[in-house]
Amino acid sequence: MESDNIFITVVDRQDIEHSIEVPTDMSLSLMEVCKASELPVKGTCGGMALCSTCHVYVLSDHILPEMTMDEELILDQAFFVNSQSRLGCQIKIVPAINGLRVKLAPEDESL
């Protein structure tokens, strides 16, 4: 069922682009897709918006749902946050984000 799949592009920390075909009918998050694609995303909290190990920068002009208060609080404590910052665990894979382009944020302050 090709119509149930979308494509997203993830730019890793070495600036290598990964085009990933993703099904929209499995209730996945961007964090889960990155982990399944063996990209270096930890997702330590399991997608509960309690850590920032799935922090990404949204590079495309997609309109995503508003941040939850939990996401805002975690990003407020994260390193390298900018106006494009989001938590991958809070970006749900839905048809509206077909073509989404994101970049993985640095892992910690030593990078």
pLDDT tens-place string over residues 1-36: 446 999 999 999 999 999 999 999 999 999 999 999
Summarised one tens digit per residue, pLDDT across range 83-94 is 999 999 999 999
pTM over 0.95: no
Which CATH entry fits the domain spanning 2-104: 3.30.70.3270, 3.40.50.920, 3.40.50.300, 3.10.20.30? 3.10.20.30
Q: Where are the domains of the chain?
A: 2-104
Dist. CA 103–CA 58, nearest whole Å: 7
pLDDT tier at 107, thresholds 50, 70, 90:
confident
Dist. CA 36–CA 14, nearest whole Å: 19
Summarised one tens digit per residue, pLDDT across range 41-76 is 999 999 999 999 999 999 999 999 999 999 999 999
